[in-house]
Amino acid sequence: MTDEQAFTDLDRGFARFLAERSRLSGANKNRFEALLLQLSAQQSAGHSCIAIGAEDREIVLASGLASADRATPLIAEAERLYLQRYWHYEERLARQLGALARQQFDAGHLEACLDRYFPSQGDEIDWQKTAAQAAVGQALSIITGGPGTGKTTTVLKILALLLETSLPALHIALAAPTGKAAMRLQESIVANKPGLACAAEVKARIPEQANTLHRLLGAKPPTPYFRHDAGNPLPYDVVVVDETSMVDLALMSKLVDALKPGSRLILLGDKDQLASVESGSVLADLSAGLAENTVELQKSHRFQGQIKQLAVAVNRQDAELAWQLLQEPNSAVRRLNGDPIDWIIENYAEYLQAIADGADPVRIFAAFNRFRVLCSNQRGHNSVGEINRRVEQELASRGKIRSGSIWYAGKPVMITANHAGMQLYNGDIGLCLNDAEHGGQLRVFFPRGEEFRKLLPARLPPWETVFAMTIHKSQGSEFENIVIALPDAVNPVLSKELLYTAITRAKKSVAVSAEQAIFDACVGHRVARYSGLAAKLQTYASGPNR
């Protein structure tokens, strides 16, 4: 990163502050400040460190503010430069996961149980069975795969296997990084548990409730600390984490810190999706650094046809094929020519009709969740802000909602800040509806299992309208039909990981609103976060920590 405009005032202030306190002068001091500027900017972009050469390493070490492994503000380790805190997260996580990866369990005689849960598929490799067999014998299991490959189905069978073959009874926790992802994991467990090929008492011992990682660990806002840590570990024998691609370096380090000795950790996710918003690309690094503990599920059981072809083309960065797929007539994937607003309104027609009919909230939520607009950006052309504003204007002009009113029956909102006291969390989605139990008064309904939490609009913590949402916010969600809206100019947010994540939210159809040049640039840009985690994991998993 060399563009002067890419650096913030915070980056410049940080670099100047440390450079002034170094032992350096002249050209070396200037070079040191330039490295600090780059480190601060790259940290904000999600990298845990930056690459440095031998000459820069000598300058950094001569500053008096860096060492190779001590509690100094900076750590210069081999060819990498870290802020001390992120080096600590990475180093500690690598050591702990390396030790966990080496820990084995006696799997016993599993063949009969495995055959019961995973009937023979002939000569075809059953990757789910392979993952289950590995997971029973390992303390650390990483199960990756694209949409529809059966990650949660596989982990459900793994839990049943563990419960059948373990004494005493295991205590199991289910978790995900967001409330939305936790709810989807919970729904999958509940839906698939009755079909398990095991005794009723085994099914009864598999938990159905999934929590966010913050709730599992016992967040203590506004501090960055948790109730459960190395000194007060979690009480569980098995911890399952879904949507691990969304977990950042710091949170993963704190989770592993809180595991009790002898416990198992099972991580699920799609390594090709967007990395976490914060620092690191933990799932991708774990998959690369701990190959012996990783199984990739390769057969999709529900994700087929043109949507899969488009996702694969984008993931392989084949922009020509991807764009060609969008031009085919009568396809599940298409390009929207011109203004997408009419198409968006048409796809919300069932939802709007359910509200007009006075349908029950269950039906209204089901209709709303069949479709969503996914945007790359918050502001600008085809952004979340623009599309939400234009959809409301169009609905008002058609008489579908009351013009000029902030609140109306059918307004969808997303909570944008955690509020534990109200049991509302960042990413929770609610619908403003007429509440028959309160004389038709407008209230915002939030689903809570089979019930709804209903709040007056004025009581809500910070929120935003959500006819459209960012692709980042859509992670952990699934919709029948989506529109992907890209901007009219290339920007740093655009990447093939972003587009792949959006495409894989859809079950039935994908429509893309974008010009070819922008689409091609998006497919052509791959996000590669710089870290030392994968290399460290390979070292620490191969033998005793030194």
**What CA dihedral angle connects 24, 25, 27 and 30, to 10 degrees?**
70
Is 145 annotated as a binding-site member?
Answer: yes
Identify the bridge partners of residue 464 per DSSP, sorted by sequence position. Answer: 414
Beta carbons within 10 angstroms of residue 125's beta carbon:
10
Is 146 annotated as a binding-site member?
Answer: yes
Is 411 annotated as a binding-site member?
Answer: no
Query: Token pair of 79, please?
Result: 């060819």
Using CB atoms within 10 Å of the CB of residue 175, give its burial: 0 to 12 exposed, 13 to 18 middle, 19+ buried: buried
How far apart, in whole angstroms, are the C-alpha atoms of residue 382 and residue 497?
Answer: 19
Q: Which residues of 246-261 are buried (b: 16+ CB within 10 A; e: fewer)?
A: bbbbbbbbbbbbbbee
Report cis status (omega within 30 of 0) of the bond before 168.
Answer: yes
Handedness of CA 459, 464, 467, 469 (dihedral sign): negative
CA terminus-to-terminus distance, the chain: 35
- The answer to whether the CB of 498 falls within 8 A of the CB of 492 is no
- The answer to whether the CB of 248 falls within 8 A of the CB of 277 is yes
Total residue length of the chain: 546
DSSP 425-436: -TT-EEEEEEEG
- Residues 6+ positions from 8 with CB-CB distance below 8 Å: 41, 44
Is 148 annotated as a binding-site member?
Answer: yes
Can you tell me whether residue 274 is helix, strand or coil?
coil
Q: Using alpha carbons, select from 141, 263, 432, 307 the residue that is nearest to residue 128.
A: 141
Residue 133 vs residues 25, 62, 155: alpha-carbon distances, Å: 59, 51, 11
Q: Report residue 76: phi and psi, to 5°.
A: -105, 95
Task: Give all strands of the β-sheet with 50-51 in edge-to-edge order.
Answer: 50-51, 80-83, 74-77, 66-67
DSSP state of 219: B
Is 385 annotated as a binding-site member?
Answer: no
Tokens 């702990």, residue located: 96
Can you tell me whether residue 333 is helix, strand or coil?
strand
Per DSSP, helices labelled H in 103-212 are 111-117, 127-136, 151-165, 179-192, 200-204
Can you tell me whether residue 76 is helix, strand or coil?
strand
Tokens 């952004």, residue located: 383
Residue 545 vs residues 67, 87, 325, 494, 540: alpha-carbon distances, Å: 20, 17, 50, 39, 6
How far apart, in whole angstroms, are the C-alpha atoms of residue 342 and residue 312?
Answer: 29
Q: Report residue 296: phi and psi, to 5°.
A: -100, 120
Is 151 annotated as a binding-site member?
Answer: yes
- Residues 6+ positions from 53 with CB-CB distance below 8 Å: 79
Instruction: Return binding residues.
Output: 145-152
Instruction: Return binding residues for ATP.
Output: 145-152
